[in-house]
Amino acid sequence: MKITIISVGKLKEQYLADGIKEYIKRISKYSEVKEIVLKDMPIPTKESDAIDQEIKRKEGLEILEAIPSNSYKVVLDLKGEMIDSPGLAKKLLEIQTYHSSHIVFIIGGSLGLSDEVLRSSDYHLCFSKMTFPHQLMKLILLEQIYRGFKINNNETYHK
């Protein structure tokens, strides 16, 4: 299995970078993990809905270009399906068995994901109705992927 994480926005906090690096190392026992970090566009101080939509559209085009072909695309979306950790483990197995051995998780920038990216995805996943910074969300996502591999391999992991 191969996992790619596409995210918008550079990681600035060292403690988050360290945590992400640690979980990528742990997951590498089960799967190859690749990160694609796209530059976020500057948001003007005078925001408007039209400007926000244009920024999301431009970031969306970059995301769509970065998606590897023949991959199963999972977007992190507040309107997506909420599942628990065993449910995510089951979903990882389902995707690998029936769809593709390459899963791409997509995390949008501070304005979210464009409609084009949302429409092109195969699955919409919601971790919480709360909003998290995208950098923190990447760490949470990687921890849950790791937990899913541990569950699927009947290995113990703290609760």
pLDDT in tens, the chain (159 residues): 999 999 998 888 999 999 999 999 999 999 999 999 999 887 777 778 888 899 999 999 999 999 999 999 999 999 999 999 999 999 999 999 999 999 999 999 988 999 999 999 999 999 999 888 888 999 999 999 999 999 999 998 876
Structure tokens at 87: 């449910």
| pTM for this model (two decimals) | 0.94
Residue 79 included in any domain: yes
Residue 47 included in any domain: yes
Residue 145 included in any domain: yes
Residue 157 included in any domain: no
Quick one: pLDDT at residue 5?
A: 97
Quick one: pLDDT at residue 159?
A: 61
What single letter denotes the amino acid at residue 155?
Answer: E
Quick one: pLDDT at residue 46?
A: 72
Quick one: pLDDT at residue 113?
A: 95
Beta bridge partners of 103: 3, 72
Q: Is the dihedral of CA 114, 45, 129, 92 positive or negative?
A: positive
Contacts of 32 (CB under 8 A, 6+ apart): 1, 2, 3
Structural domain boundaries, residue 106:
2-152
Instruction: Give residue 10's Cα distance to chain centre.
Output: 14
Could you give the CA distance from residue 26 to residue 149 in angstroms, rounded to a whole number? Answer: 10
What single letter denotes the amino acid at residue 135?
Answer: Q
Residue 100 included in any domain: yes
We report the CATH number of the domain holding residue 118 as 3.40.1280.10
Domain tally, the chain: 1
Residue 158 included in any domain: no
